[in-house]
Amino acid sequence: MSTQSPTHTNPRHAYLGGGCFWCTEAQFKLLPGVLSVVSGYAGGEKPNPTYEEVCSGRSGHAEIIRVDYDPEVLTYEQVLEKFWVTHDPTTLNRQGNDVGTQYRSVIFHTTGEEKKQAEESLSQARPHFQDPIVTEISPLPVFYPAEAYHQDYFTNNPGNSYCAFVVRPKVEKFKHYLI
Domains and CATH numbers, the chain: 12-175 (3.30.1060.10)
Gap between the Cα atoms of 46 and 42, Å rounded? 9
Asked if 24 and 65 count as a contact pair (C-beta separation under 8 A), the reply is yes
pTM score of the predicted model:
0.93
User: How do residues 10-32 score in pLDDT, each as one tens digit?
Assistant: 899 999 999 999 999 999 999 99
User: Exposure pattern of 93-130 as b/e (b: 16+ CB <10 Å)?
Assistant: bbbeebeebbbbbbbbbeeeebbebbeebbeebeeeee
Nearest 10 degrees: Cα torsion 96, 168, 76, 21: 60
Mean pLDDT value across the chain: 94
Segments in the chain forming alpha helices (H) = 21-28, 51-55, 76-86, 112-125, 153-156, 161-162, 168-175
What's the pLDDT score for residue 1? 40
When pLDDT is cut at 50, 70 and 90, the band that residue 8 belongs to is low
User: How do residues 66-115 score in pLDDT, each as one tens digit?
Assistant: 999 999 999 999 999 999 999 999 999 999 889 999 999 999 999 999 99
| Known active-site residue 20 | yes
Task: Strands of 52-104 (E only): list them.
Answer: 62-69, 94-95, 98-99
